[in-house]
Amino acid sequence: MVARCEQSRGGVILPDIPTLALVVPILPVRDLARAMDFYRRLGFTAQAWQNADTYAFIQRDGLELHLSRSEKLSGNQSPSAAYFYLIKGAAESLEAEFRAAGIQILNPLAPRPWKMKDFTISDPDGNMLHFGEELS
């Protein structure tokens, strides 16, 4: 028999069981069509919500990001980022795939002090995209 601890969340007592299923980052972009085209170059599928120009869903390998048009971005600087954890052994081929698609690699694939081997790119709105795998 497994004992379940109870805790208070917002004043309501709930059983201590997981409630979160998924996290989906929402990246701000100025031009939704341009951003969707960029992510397609990375191998994502992209679909605008209700065929509008304010929100989109992008997916690759069963994972999803959302894009939201924002007038608050300045230049190509965004405070947003996403880190993609890769299947072991995939980082080199993914970096090569992006290079072949003409994507600029800001920080090339290299081992990092945080026990990952990763590389970094940026989308046209300055959202930093990090791709990495665990070091052996």
Q: What is the pLDDT of residues 51-68, one digit of tens each?
A: 888 999 999 999 999 999
Decide: 86 and 131 in contact? Cβ < 8 Å: yes
In percent, how much of the chain has pLDDT > 90?
Answer: 71
Q: Which residue has the tokens 């980022």?
A: 81
Residue 1 pLDDT > 50: no
Residue 4 pLDDT > 80: no
The pTM of this model reads: 0.82
Structural fold of domain 23-134: 2,3-Dihydroxybiphenyl 1,2-Dioxygenase; domain 1 (3.10.180)
pLDDT in tens, 77-126: 677 899 999 999 999 999 999 999 999 999 999 999 999 999 999 999 99
Decide: 59 and 19 in contact? Cβ < 8 Å: no
CA atoms within 13 A on the CB side of 134: 3
Q: What is the per-residue pLDDT for 29?
A: 94
Decide: 117 and 111 in contact? Cβ < 8 Å: yes
